[in-house]
Structure 1
Amino acid sequence: MSQSFESLGISETRAHHLETLGFTEPTPVQAQAIPEMLSGRDVVGLAQTGTGKTAAFSLPILEQIDLQASGVQALVLTPTRELAMQVKEAIRNLSTDRALYVLTVYGGQSIDRQIQRLRRGVQIVVGTPGRILDLLNRGELKLNSVRWTVLDEADEMLSMGFIQDVEKILEACNEDRQTAFFSATMDASIWKLVRRHLKSPVTVKVETPKATPKRIEQSVYMVPRGWSKARALEPILELEDPESAIIFVRTKQSAADLTNQLQAAGHSVDEYHGNLNQSQRERLLQRLRRRQVRWIVATDIAARGLDVDHLTHVINYDLPDNVDSYVHRIGRTGRAGREGKAITLIQPIDRRKLRYIERHLRQTFDIQSVPKRAEIEARYIDRLKARVRDALTGERMASFLPIVSQLGEEYDPHAIAAAALQLAYDQTRPANMGADDDDDEEDLSPTPKPKLLKRRAKASASNKS
């Protein structure tokens, strides 16, 4: 019998909010960790991103946090700024109260702005050890009122050399706090931290997949220096022409921005995010299933409620932070015995994360260049040939044979066929492939009327002779 969030101790209001986000039942790590954290126990969790661990530690904190108090009550340490932003986004989505203030702090961002926000009052701080320690040393971040401390991806944090910073931060926290460590592995250095800083912790362990399905073809494209990801994505989409796809991004703002850009380019795409209510999500999901919209741009937390069997592609517009999130994403394609394709865009800064994924999957990805126009046109011609072959075996072709016979009295059959292919090519070719602009808009109909086809084919064949 499946559990509910309410049965774990989550309030009815928040459980209903989780349903609107697509969280219908807790994952194994949530089912184990949430009751323990709600009871006040320290927790050691062996789990990675993609298993639902962010909600596992965030929901108990959100259930008990005092929104009237302005001091920092919860501190979440992450190894990278990317993960810090992802955790903040997740907490904001899981929260039902606008009075909650969550601040991310990491290097490369204005420390003065972070200080100003801290002085105005913040309940939750999510950040990397270096910047948090900097704010502590300046006396701007005070942890004496912290009730919860979380180390997210503790093994990655320690492998990056943060152990001394983490020690100093934990020592600065309120001794009566509740502490949770989440890590993919638990080596001796982490257990040393656990023994020193956690009080009789309960251990939560979740087995996670370590390989990707063989029926999924995986491709990685390097975004050229000086290019935006959106600019690099466009030729990839033109080359692949996904029948149906989820494009994963990191934040809701990225989802909105990318969706707007793709829609402006004429693509059938919509965004799927935490601000949609349940009925809006269901309508969008139905549109995707009925092929009324081809692609969806979504964040990881929003896409949890998406369950579509016919997805042909998954596109990692933003690379996830670890292997399980990657596996979870791409596993949405290649279902029900079908083949699928996973495409990942990376920038030079992402190479470390890509190597981490390769190492855990025991695979090496061939990093490709963004396709050039000639490659896109060649792929499009191949698709056109395939459609012509399908049409030659179809029943509808017979209704057009009289037109061919009439034109055959004036033109060579090869010229007639070439003219018809030109019409099909011009009507459906990608807009950015440099098409001529002399075509009438009336020929955009997917099935031209016979008189129109005859007139256009005659004109095209005349031009070729």
Structure 2
Amino acid sequence: MTLSFQSLGLSEARVQELEQLGFTTPTPIQVQAIPELLKGRDMVAQSQTGTGKTAAFSLPMLESIDLKNPAVQAIILTPTRELASQVNDAIRDFNSDRRLGILTVCGGQSMDRQIRRLQRGTQIVVGTPGRVIDLLDRGDLKLDQINWVVLDEADEMLSMGFIDDVKKILKKTPSNRQTACFSATMPKQICDLVNQFLKSPVTVTIKQERVAPARIEQRVYMVPRGCPKIRALQPILALEDPEAALIFVRTRRSAAELTTHLQSAGYSVDEYHGDLSQSQRERLLQRFRQGQVRWVVATDIAARGLHVDHLSHVINYDLPDQAESYIHRIGRTGRAGNTGIAISLIQPLDRRKLNLIERKVRQKIEVSRIPSRSQIEARHLEKLQDKLREALAGERMASFLPVVRDLSEEYDPQAIAAATLQMLYDQTQPSWAALDFETPMVERPKVNKRRSSRSSKREEPQKPVIQNPSR
């Protein structure tokens, strides 16, 4: 039996708004969370990104907001500005009543403007812990009438060092508040926070039997021992030729270095990490969504809130430490009914991590060797053939037939076609043409000089011993 939003206990007006937005069938997290939250219960929900958790907590929250009261009644804490902005936009979509005030408070934006909005009246605040603390300390944000607190992406707030700020904020809210904690993973510190601040919470867990169903294809490439990882990545990019890719690295420095290297090789790529200003992030995200930038190199924390529907590839340049993080990463592709490809680069020491990931996703992932020039050339020719078939089926082909007839008087038609393909191949040949495939990707093993020195002495012919004839 297929459940509806109305069967979950939402008001008829709310259901009608959802239907106008095209939402008719709730997701599993919404089915489990919405009825319990409507009952006023605290909740701990473990669910990956893309499962509809924003609607799971915001829809019950909207049902309880008193529009006649201009005071802040609900606060949603997020780890990043981008996620705060997305949650704000989602809540606005779910609500058409202009009397509802929703405000995003985070760094990189004018605090004076945020203060003026608070003074005019705002019922829902979505913000990052740092800016919320600043406004609390100034006395411009008051939480004495808070009924709702939501911790969104709690594990990432822990990773970013916000856990103490979160505790400080929770202590300033009324004890009779309703609290919901949403997190992709549940490390010990999050469990401790739940035990300290939530009252008999109901637990909701959305298990994904296989993180990558048919819509996500997972591939793993082994980087040869001693080979620079960047050298192994470029043939992979040349073979895959992603339309839109998110490349995950471990640190900001790695993001900057990898981006610079790929840009110098002629690729359309940019970096996305915590050192960028808010305006820089927004401009890059806009360019990425419009296809002006094909690939983005990002850290895990910065990428929270970076969602692109047309993402064709997720590439783990650095494999994450936790299997849950791997699941969270690759879940960014294969959305909205599209297919997606998840690629991971591993080194021999990463075998254990890969085993943990395979157990988590309950799937064996084949490990391949770095693509060769012949493989890349073959793939490129396949794409040219596909383009040629499209052209043959198109209407514009007729305008070029007179040219072919003229050339046919002097050249063989097959030769004309081959020359045309060669021209097209040369024009579209990407940066991999300049890659060095001749030099082996494996460095020669280093020689232990000390051991070599001793062995050479042993192998050196011994001088004859001349005995003293007087003895």
Interval of TM-score (by shorter of Structure 1 and Structure 2): 0.5 to 0.7
Q: Which residue of 1 aligns with 2:319?
A: none
Contact 2:44/2:204, CA 8 A, preserved across alignment: yes
| Structure 2 Cα separation of the partners of residues 208 and 255 of structure 1 | 29
**Residue identity in the other structure for 1:152:** D
- Residue by residue over 1:411-437, the C-alpha shift from the partner in whole angstroms, topping out at 9 and shown as x without a partner, is 4657644676599x59xx89xxxxxxx
The CA deviation at 1:212 is 3.1
Q: Percent identity?
A: 53
- Residue by residue over 1:7-38, the C-alpha shift from the partner in whole angstroms, topping out at 9 and shown as x without a partner, is 11111121122123332222222112211211
1:26–1:333: structure 2 CA closer, same or farther, 3 Å change rule? Answer: closer
1:40 equivalent to 2:40? Answer: yes
- Residue by residue over 1:125-166, the C-alpha shift from the partner in whole angstroms, topping out at 9 and shown as x without a partner, is 111112111111110100001111111122222233222212
Q: Which residue of 2 aligns with 1:370?
A: none
1:386–1:59: structure 2 CA closer, same or farther, 3 Å change rule? Answer: closer
Give 3-state SS (helix, strand or coil) of 2:194's partner: helix
Q: Which residue of 1 aligns with 2:75?
A: 75
- Residue by residue over 1:319-349, the C-alpha shift from the partner in whole angstroms, topping out at 9 and shown as x without a partner, is xx976565444234997xxx754699xxxxx
Contact 1:80/1:128, CA 8 A, preserved across alignment: yes
1:54 equivalent to 2:54? Answer: yes
Which 10-residue stretch deviates more, 171-180 or 186-195? 186-195
1:141 equivalent to 2:134? Answer: no
Unpaired runs of at least 5, structure 1: 238-250, 266-298, 304-310, 345-356, 367-375, 431-465
| Structure 1 Cα separation of the partners of residues 186 and 314 of structure 2 | 29
1:416–1:155: structure 2 CA closer, same or farther, 3 Å change rule? Answer: closer
1:183–1:409: structure 2 CA closer, same or farther, 3 Å change rule? Answer: closer
Q: Which residue of 1 aligns with 2:11?
A: 11
**Residue identity in the other structure for 2:312:** V
Contact 1:51/1:324, CA 8 A, preserved across alignment: no
Unpaired runs of at least 5, structure 2: 220-244, 249-254, 270-280, 294-305, 316-323, 345-356, 369-375, 429-471
The CA deviation at 1:170 is 0.9
Contact 2:334/2:341, CA 8 A, preserved across alignment: no
Give 3-state SS (helix, strand or coil) of 1:26's partner: coil
- Residue by residue over 1:398-421, the C-alpha shift from the partner in whole angstroms, topping out at 9 and shown as x without a partner, is xx9999787544446576446765
- Residue by residue over 1:296-323, the C-alpha shift from the partner in whole angstroms, topping out at 9 and shown as x without a partner, is xxx969x7xxxxxxx9x73679xxx976
Contact 1:150/1:180, CA 8 A, preserved across alignment: yes
Give 3-state SS (helix, strand or coil) of 1:89's partner: helix
Q: Which residue of 1 aligns with 2:312?
A: 314
Q: Which residue of 2 aligns with 1:186?
A: 186
Contact 2:330/2:342, CA 8 A, preserved across alignment: no
Contact 1:50/1:324, CA 8 A, preserved across alignment: no
The CA deviation at 1:5 is 1.0
Q: Which residue of 2 aligns with 1:109?
A: 109
Q: Which residue of 1 aligns with 2:333?
A: 330
1:161–1:415: structure 2 CA closer, same or farther, 3 Å change rule? Answer: closer
Contact 1:48/1:153, CA 8 A, preserved across alignment: no
Q: Which residue of 1 aligns with 2:169?
A: 169
Contact 1:213/1:331, CA 8 A, preserved across alignment: no
| Structure 2 Cα separation of the partners of residues 195 and 217 of structure 1 | 37
**Residue identity in the other structure for 2:34:** I
Alignment of 1:141-290 (within 5 A): 141-208=141-208, 211-213=211-213, 216=217, 220=246
Contact 1:44/1:181, CA 8 A, preserved across alignment: yes
Q: Which residue of 2 aligns with 1:65?
A: 65
- Residue by residue over 1:164-206, the C-alpha shift from the partner in whole angstroms, topping out at 9 and shown as x without a partner, is 2122111111222111122233344333333332222222222
Please provide the CA RMSD for this pair.
Answer: 5.2
**Residue identity in the other structure for 1:216:** E
1:55–1:254: structure 2 CA closer, same or farther, 3 Å change rule? Answer: farther
| Structure 2 Cα separation of the partners of residues 61 and 391 of structure 1 | 53
1:187–1:380: structure 2 CA closer, same or farther, 3 Å change rule? Answer: closer
Contact 2:73/2:148, CA 8 A, preserved across alignment: yes
Give 3-state SS (helix, strand or coil) of 1:330's partner: coil
The CA deviation at 1:58 is 0.5
Give 3-state SS (helix, strand or coil) of 2:312's partner: strand
**Residue identity in the other structure for 2:167:** E
Give 3-state SS (helix, strand or coil) of 1:104's partner: strand
How many equivalent residue pairs? Answer: 342
| Structure 2 Cα separation of the partners of residues 8 and 176 of structure 1 | 24
1:192–1:333: structure 2 CA closer, same or farther, 3 Å change rule? Answer: closer
